[in-house]
Amino acid sequence: DKQVSNKVPFVVEAPQGPQITSLLPKEGQTNTVVSMIVNGARFGTGAVVNFNGKTIKTTFLNRSTLGVSLDLKGVAAGTYPFSVTNPDKKTSNIVYFTVTAKQLPRPVITQIKPSNIKISSAGASNPVYILGRNFQNGALLSFRLPFVGSIGLPTNFINSQTLVMTAQFPRIPFPFPTQRTNAFETNPDKQVSNSVQVT
């Protein structure tokens, strides 16, 4: 109703910890290593960077400049919070670093072992090995099944040529007989492999 109260004081204090003003560069491609400069104020010798759940050592250049190397191997494309913590545990403001997708080779499946996969009443399955090339950590193995379309199950990354699927199949809502179907692998960068038939 536009009526205004009395005034009370509000104190704005100067920041006491480190402050980030800019990152150079402020983005990088996934699966690369980025050497960067952190500009700001009140950085201490031994300050660390907080990025993607990791604490990363820095090179102290001066109170307003740090050098740091970001290893983006396996880091998915996206925008991530980035901050600096001094040895006295004071942490800076949060700025954001962008990870962009790097086009990697398309995955290729050469063999799925075993090719006969049994789904028990509990939905469990024995380990399934996916052999091929250009696999990435975080890949899904998908099956085309009746009534439910494609089901994607997580895999364990052994190396770029071997994945192991130990995940349980969900319960299938309708019974269906033994049949041949297609399985394919999808990398985190959304590239999809060729299809391989399994029973």
SS3 assignment, position 97: strand
What does pLDDT average to over the chain? 88
In this model, does residue 58 exceed pLDDT 60?
yes
- Tell me the pLDDT band of 18, cut-offs 50, 70 and 90: very high
Strands 140-145 and 181-186: antiparallel
pLDDT at residue 1, rounded to an integer: 93
pLDDT at residue 146, rounded to an integer: 74
**Of 52, 70, 48, nearest in space to 60 by CA:** 48
Strands 27-29 and 95-100: parallel
pLDDT at residue 96, rounded to an integer: 94
How far is the C-alpha of 99 from the C-alpha of 29, rounded, in Å?
Answer: 5
pLDDT tens-digit series, residues 5-14: 999 999 887 7
Q: Which residues pair with 136 in a beta bridge?
A: none
- In order, the DSSP letters of 16-74 are -S-EEEEEES-EEETTSEEEEEEEEE---TT-EEEETTEEEE-EEEETTEEEEEEE-TT
**Long-range contacts (CB closer than 8 Å, 24 or more residues apart) made by 60-64:** 61/37, 64/39, 64/40
Q: To the nearest 10°, the Cα dihedral for 72, 73, 75, 80?
A: -10
